[in-house]
Amino acid sequence: MLFRTVYGPELKVIYQFIQTSAEPLTRNQIVTAFIPLLHQGEVVISPQNVEDAISFLISSYLIEEHDGMFTGVNTVIPFHLALLHNLRSVELGVLDPKHPLDTQFIALISTLFMFPDALYADNLHARANSLDEIKKLGGISKEKIQAWKRVMQYLGLGYRIKRGFLCAITPALLLEIIATMPNNTATLQSFFEHTLMQFLPCLNRIGDVSHAVRHPMLYLAETGHIKLSTLQDSPQKAYFQPDNLRQIMREHMNAIA
């Protein structure tokens, strides 16, 4: 299940530990490796966080379990991009959800922020549990919504603010996704449909780019990382209304600190 009480950074560490192991690992080997050891005395530390991370990584198709042994799935892109891609694939049904609620993990970004074009939602727990899709599945606890917010912030999809969440894609994450484009130049329609939306939802109810993505893309254009332009007499869909932009070009792709 994806709605686990995880934090974010431990997911990458545990994934790398499993993926780089010379041989498959047992659950006990993984849990034991991440329980701190003290030289003096004994301390009892709950392994639940490691267990939750293992469950999350299985549900996101980044580790596999066969006969009680765990292996990591090789990826050709950075961990956080591979995780976003798989979470989105679960939402879209490309990958089968391990739990019915798993489809809602990234869908919350679309339903509460992208589609209504809202940057901030207060009392996220109440808002999430007001959705029919989540009501039918029994709801989500406050603890799990808090964990969701931590993972979204870790991945670069926004920021936790008290009870709410500010959805604003970081320019650094967006630049990394743009780097996966097969060519330096693409129409915006192709970029959104075949590149960006493989990682996260990005369009609002009228089919234009949502503000959570619009602002960081314009920032990347202003700083010279990309170029956004019109294409006269092009049949391709226009975005960034009223500017009617239709093309994206990679320029200076140096990383953003």
Q: Which residue, 150, 167, 184, sits at the end of a domain?
A: 167
Q: How confident is the model at residue 97 (pLDDT cuts 50, 70, 90)?
A: very high
Mark whether 130 and 84 lie in a shared domain: yes
Mark whether 245 and 187 lie in a shared domain: yes
Rounded Cα–Cα distance for residues 31 and 16 (Å): 14
Q: Specify the pLDDT at position 216.
A: 96
Q: What's 158's DSSP letter? A: E
Write the pLDDT tens digit of every residue in 149-159: 999 999 999 99
Q: Specify the pLDDT at position 256.
A: 67
Q: Does 255 reside within a domain?
A: no
Mark whether 85 and 155 lie in a shared domain: yes
User: Strands across the sheet with 69-72, in order?
Assistant: 25-26, 69-72, 63-66
Peptide bond just before 242 cis, omega within 30 deg: yes
Q: Which residue, 114, 147, 167, sits at the end of a domain?
A: 167
Q: Does 257 reside within a domain?
A: no
Q: Which residue, 167, 193, 217, sits at the end of a domain?
A: 167
Q: Does 234 reside within a domain?
A: yes
Rounded Cα–Cα distance for residues 148 and 18 (Å): 23
Q: Specify the pLDDT at position 46.
A: 63
Mark whether 104 and 163 lie in a shared domain: yes
- pLDDT exceeds 80 at position 43: no
Helix (H, G, I), strand (E, B) or coil at 202: coil
Q: Does 121 reside within a domain?
A: yes
Rounded Cα–Cα distance for residues 159 and 149 (Å): 8
Mark whether 214 and 188 lie in a shared domain: yes
Q: Specify the pLDDT at position 39.
A: 43
| Residue 198: how many other CB atoms lie within 10 Å | 17
Q: The domain that contains 63 carries what CATH number?
A: 1.10.10
Q: Specify the pLDDT at position 252.
A: 79
Q: What is the DSSP annotation of 193-216?
A: HHTGGGTS--B-TTSSBPHHHHHH
Q: Does 114 reside within a domain?
A: yes
Cross-strand bridge partners of residue 167: 158
Considering only residues 47 and 130, tell me which one the structure prediction assigns the higher pLDDT: 130
Mark whether 59 and 85 lie in a shared domain: no
Mark whether 52 and 95 lie in a shared domain: no
Rounded Cα–Cα distance for residues 141 and 152 (Å): 17
Mark whether 52 and 99 lie in a shared domain: no
Mark whether 161 and 186 lie in a shared domain: no
Mark whether 196 and 208 lie in a shared domain: yes
CA-to-CA dists, residue 49 to 26, 86, 101, 147, angstroms: 16, 21, 20, 11
Cross-strand bridge partners of residue 227: 249
Token pair 């709410």: residue: 164
Cα angle 240-244-249, degrees, rounded to a multiple of 5: 75
Q: How confident is the model at residue 40 (pLDDT cuts 50, 70, 90)?
A: very low
Domain count, the chain: 3
Q: Does 141 reside within a domain?
A: yes
Q: Specify the pLDDT at position 162.
A: 87
Q: How confident is the model at residue 67 (pLDDT cuts 50, 70, 90)?
A: very high
Q: φ, ψ for residue 46 (rounded to 5)?
A: -65, 130
HEC string of 17-40 equals: HHHCCCCCEEHHHHHHHCCCCCCC
Q: Residue 153 is inside which H or E element, if any?
A: helix 142-155
Mark whether 105 and 162 lie in a shared domain: yes
pTM for the whole structure:
0.90
For residue 131, the enclosing domain spans: 80-167
Q: Does 31 reside within a domain?
A: yes
Mark whether 183 and 162 lie in a shared domain: no
Rounded Cα–Cα distance for residues 236 and 187 (Å): 7
Which residues 6+ apart lie within 8 Å of 210 measured at CB? 113, 114, 115, 117, 201, 202, 203, 204
Q: Does 3 reside within a domain?
A: no
Rounded Cα–Cα distance for residues 189 and 246 (Å): 7
Would you state the structure tokens that stand for residue 176, as one six-digit string? 């990394």
Write the pLDDT tens digit of every residue in 177-199: 999 999 999 999 999 999 999 99
Strands 158-161 and 185-187, sheet pairing: unpaired
C-alpha dihedral sign at 56, 61, 63, 68: positive
